[in-house]
Amino acid sequence: MKLSITIKHERSSFATIDDPDGYEVTIAGDMSDCSVHGWFELFGAALGAAGFPEKVIMRGACQLAFNDCRPMDTMKLVAKEYDLQLKELDND
């Protein structure tokens, strides 16, 4: 499976003569034999190209992994694997 993500930046109304009229950033990859880590790497790069700071990208990944829609047992296993402490476990 090939995946291509294009992010278009258009010229701001506050642009100066030195600013470009706009530009595109394309991130593409062959995802056929890619692990989940590769997928996250690709989406992390796309989010970075879209202007999201590294901390926001990391927080988003954590919110995706640890939320009320995930089974608690699975979250506990992942937290243990990465030596993380879940606040919900402090009361156990």
47-74 per-position pLDDT tens digit: 998 889 999 999 999 999 999 999 999 9
State how far the alpha carbon of 40 is from the alpha carbons of 17, 22, 35, 75, in Å: 37, 27, 9, 18
Residue 34 has pLDDT above 60, yes or no: yes
**Average pLDDT along the chain:** 86
For residue 8 the two structure tokens come to 């278009």
Chain-centroid distance of CA 69 in Å reads 18
The span from the CA of 80 to the CA of 35, in Å, is: 21
What are the φ and ψ backbone dihedral angles of 55, each rounded to 5 degrees?
-60, -40
Which pLDDT score is estimated for 60? 95
Neighbours of 43 (CB within 10 A): 16
Using a cut of 0.75, tell me whether the model's pTM lies above it.
no
Which pLDDT score is estimated for 74? 95
